[in-house]
Amino acid sequence: MSCKARVDHTTPLTLAASSNWSGYIKTTSAPNYADAEWHVPTVSGGGHAAYSAIWPGIGGTTSTGKLIHDGTEQDVSAGGTQTDYFWFEIVPGESEQEVTNLVPKIGDDVATDVFWSTTTGAEFGLCDYTKATCVTGSQSSTAPGNSAEWIVERPTIGTSLPRLADFKSVKMFNGGYDESPQGSREYNISGSPETMVGSSGDDLSVPGTISGDAFTTTWKAYS
DSSP string for residues in 62-99: -SSSBEEEEEEEEEE-TT--EEEEEEEEEETT---EEE
What are the catalytic residues? 153
Strand partners, 192: 25
Q: Which residues contact 25 (CB under 8 A, 6 or more apart)?
A: 12, 15, 60, 61, 147, 148, 149, 151, 191, 192, 194
Strand partners, 179: none
Beta strand segments in the chain, E: 3-5, 17-18, 21-27, 33-39, 53-58, 67-76, 82-91, 97-99, 109-117, 121-128, 133-139, 147-153, 169-178, 187-188, 192-197, 203-207, 215-219
Compute the distance between CA of residue 177 and CA of residue 113 in angstroms, rounded to an integer: 9
